[in-house]
Amino acid sequence: MTRLSFAIAAAILAQPLAVTAQPAAPASDARPWRVDWGQYECFLIRKPAPDRPFATDFVTLPSGVRMKLRLVMNAGVPTIEGVDNVVLMPGGRAFPVTTDRSAPVQRPGVRNHYGLPPEFRQLLAEATELQLRAGAQIRARVPLDGVRVALAAHQQCLSDVAREWGLDEAALAALSRRPNSTNNVGLDIQDYPATALQRNAQGRVAMRITVTPAGRAADCVVVASSGRPDFDAAACQAALRRGRFEPGLDAAGRPVAVRDLFVAGFFLPDG
């Protein structure tokens, strides 16, 4: 039997796909940084330089609270391997990262590093250098001059897209806990469309779901399509029929109805 790998999580930071006519968040080009929009995320990109043959890309999903760090090497340059923590200087705060995720196979020359917590963004604004480390060994350094201005443009991108998708950032920020799926938004191996499986098709669906105080999905709207109607339909149907959630909690800790973003990925294993 073919084994399938589903990457499904609330506000997960996911691999970008081609730019589409989704929410029209304009790109910003404030050298040496660039802020841009893909299909699912906003990107804050430090461009390559003669002494640094790779782009450093901070990737965030609208309404998300975590960042993903992506390294994109110039053509012909070996990928930086083994990075397990990033350090912000001069403070020296280290953040563990991992590349081990059940997601699409990473492209040659690209490494995705997951696990940066919400406070990373605030500390990033004050830092002067990012160090990519394997244990205590520094594998690469990235200067952070101009990052504060770039972060403001990045936040504007996130806010613009969240608004287009019908998400209330202020309401989400006021929660003491955002909703979280306890069963992969209800998606199971049986939900992989047969036609897609036969064609080895893969895709990702971003959904806006209202989670009730009882931990059920009251509605589901696709806000960023996979490009395949069968994936989009399967994701929402699973969420509505079988999705189970820890409900969102207000500031007093009481369960409340919350409209939040969830992403479902239909991916086949490598090989």
Per-residue model confidence (pLDDT) at position 4: 36
Same domain, 228 and 141: no
**What residues have CB less than 8 Å from 40, skipping those under 6 apart?**
14, 16, 17, 61, 204, 206, 224, 263
Is the pLDDT reported for residue 172 higher than 60? yes
3-state SS assignment for residue 129: strand
Residues 102 and 202 in one domain: no
| The amino acid at 53 | P
Collapsing DSSP to helix, strand or coil, 209 comes out as strand
Q: State phi, psi for 255 to the nearest 5 degrees.
A: -60, 135
At residue 215, what are phi and psi to the nearest 5 degrees?
A: 85, 30
Structural domain boundaries, residue 257: 172-267
Q: pLDDT value at position 114?
A: 92
| Same domain, residue pair 185 and 149 | no
The answer, as to whether pTM is greater than 0.75, is yes
> How would you class 239 by CB atoms within 10 Å of its CB: exposed for 0-12, middle for 13-18, buried for 19 or more?
buried
Do 154 and 210 reside in the same domain of the chain?
no
Average pLDDT over residues 13-40: 56
Write out pLDDT tens, residues 38-47.
888 999 999 9
The verdict on 177 and 134 lying in the same domain is: no
Name the strand (E) or helix (H) holding 115. strand 110-116
pLDDT single digits (tens) 82-107: 999 999 999 999 999 998 654 444 57
The verdict on residue 249 lying in a domain is yes
Q: Is there a domain that residue 251 lies in?
A: yes
| pLDDT tens-digit readout, 45-91 | 999 999 999 999 999 998 877 899 999 999 999 989 999 999 999 99
Q: Could you give the CA distance from residue 69 to residue 187 in angstroms, rounded to a whole number?
A: 27
**Is 9 among the domain residues?**
no
Distance in angstroms (rounded) separating the CA atoms of residues 71 and 219: 37
Whether 36 and 157 map to the same domain: the answer is yes
Domain count, the chain: 2
